[in-house]
Amino acid sequence: MEMNMDRRGFLVSSATLAALAVAGRVEGSDASRKDHAHHSEGAARDSALEALAEEAHECLEQVEACIPYCIASIKEGETSLAECLATAVRLRSVVNAMATVAAFDPKPLESTRALAGACAKFCRECEKACEPHYEMHAVCKECGETCARCARRCDAVAGAA
């Protein structure tokens, strides 16, 4: 069986996966939680992984704000933000994957820990690229600080045995 995925199919699949990931983070009403409380019995979430899921989501939101800011600034001649843009674009995919995996897994698997280690490196690269711009661009400072927090959360999961 041959499977060909065109751009539309890829986008639909990606949007579906993203919607499922977001849906898992949305809290329902008290009645809804009560009716489905039995689903989580015995499936305690790892606190470091749960904290990473939240921090990675915040990091993703910050990176999503940083990218258009950098693009607009570069168009206006602020070429010093080119490295920030490049690291933010690279980080976006990795931190998106980290946020999704961390939100899905109740306990960190070996592959989750490996992804967390890689994500920490990408976060530190982005933080390093943002640092020279902290004084002039609030977005850069917010992004760099968020990346630093996310890297620490990633380290906590990556080092978990």
At 46-64, the pLDDT tens digits run 899 999 999 999 999 999 9
Per-residue pLDDT at 35 exceeds 60: no
Q: At what angle do helices 110-130 and 138-158 cross, to 10 degrees?
A: 160
Residue 53 CA to residue 139 CA, distance in Å, equals: 22
Per-residue pLDDT at 83 exceeds 80: yes
What average pLDDT is seen over the chain? 82
The domains of the chain, with CATH numbers, are: 46-158 (1.20.1270.360)
Q: Hey, what are 36's tokens?
A: 């489905």
pTM over 0.85: no
